[in-house]
Amino acid sequence: MKKIAVCGKGGVGKTTVTSLLAYCLAEQGREVYAIDADVNPTLAEALGFPPELVAEIRPIADMTALVEERTKAKIGEYGSYFKTNPTVKDLPEKLSRKIKNINFLMMGAMRTAEQGCACAENAMLKALVTHLILKEKETVILDMVAGTEHMGRGTAKGVDLMVLVVEPGSRSVKAARDIDRMAGEMGVKRRVLIGNKIRSPEDEEFLKRELGEGAFAGFLPAHDDVVSAERRGLALYEYSPPMRELIRAMWGAVCAGREAAACTAQIF
Ligand SMILES: Nc1ncnc2c1ncn2[C@@H]1O[C@H](COP(=O)(O)OP(=O)(O)OP(=O)(O)O)[C@@H](O)[C@H]1O
Ligand SMILES: [Mg+2]
């Protein structure tokens, strides 16, 4: 699995799960490109990157000249024609920064309404995901914008695995169903669920009942380590042995093609 998108309703834990998976994959010797595709970027913090290094990264949205050159768009002009298939082969090197064994890229903050739509930037991101030819040991993992809206833009079209994060609530279940359906329609063949913020066996049961046990790679507990790591600016994967073990177990199961809830949240 070379291209992975992590999706779900707002606040369910997409960024947390992306950070865990990025470390897990890098540990296995893969060359990881972690892309923060959210317009409100937080993945760098979740990966525990030093703020001074993150500050040096130029987000795609800020690289107006590059986006204009590649998409032939005039940034900020509504309805202007732009190439939906820009050249992106060299972009990972141009836009990423390697920090702690992970190559990091970000989409960047969305421009304000007056500045026009972000179609050109989105075209870049989409092209990056769709046309990037990855070498054998390379993986791209995308921390997506919350909800379903980005699905309409098709950013995740070229991914070979979609990880849907859900928490035990009906709203996040509904969002997961919608995203899953749209992902299926756009041809994303493999979708797996991760139940997050599990507080009790009932939470897990609820999710299995609503979404089907077989679709879950596993479950992560609501755990103080998540908040502590965040507060300390540390990577959860490095900070928390239990969360590390759980994500490793889940990833192992996903790679072996047998999700069916590889692990429970182990908190009870
Ligand atoms: N398993 C967990 N246990 C405790 N807190 C958690 C857990 N997972 C996530 N959180 C907390 O929930 C909040 C949202 O998590 P996160 O930022 O990963 O979600 P998100 O889906 O990326 O949110 P957004 O939609 O805003 O991008 C954070 O404050 C995080 O610390
Ligand atoms: Mg997030």
Question: Which CATH number goes with the domain that contains 130?
Answer: 3.40.50.300
Q: Whose CA is nearest to atom 31 of ligand 1?
A: 227
pLDDT for residue 117: 60
Tokens representing 241 are 């042995």
- Which residue segment(s) compose the domain that 158 sits in? 3-255
- Let me know if residue 192 belongs to a domain: yes
Per residue in 182-198, pLDDT (tens digit) is 999 988 989 999 999 99
Per residue in 15-45, pLDDT (tens digit) is 999 999 999 999 999 999 999 988 888 999 9
Picking from 6-15, 72-81, 94-103, 242-251, which range would have the lowest pLDDT averaged per residue? 72-81
- Let me know if residue 159 belongs to a domain: yes
Phi and psi dihedrals of 5, rounded to 5? -120, 135
Sign of the alpha-carbon dihedral angle for 20, 197, 107, 240: negative
Q: How far is the CA of 12 from the centre of ligand 1 (A)?
A: 6
Task: Give the binding-site residues of ligand 1, using a 6 Å CB cut-off.
Answer: 8, 10-16, 38, 42, 146, 196-197, 220, 222-223, 226-227, 230
Q: Tell me the C-alpha distance between 260 and 217, whole Å.
A: 6
- Let me know if residue 161 belongs to a domain: yes
Which pLDDT band holds residue 268 (cuts at 50, 70, 90)?
A: very low
- pTM of this prediction exceeds 0.85: yes
Overall domain count for the chain:
1
Residue 232 buriedness (CB in 10 A; 0-12 / 13-18 / 19+): exposed
Calculate the alpha carbon distances from 152 to 113, 157, 181, 228 in Å.
19, 10, 12, 35
Q: Which residue has better confidence, 261 or 212? A: 212
Whether the Cβ atoms of residue 9 and residue 172 lie closer than 8 Å to each other = yes
- Let me know if residue 58 belongs to a domain: yes
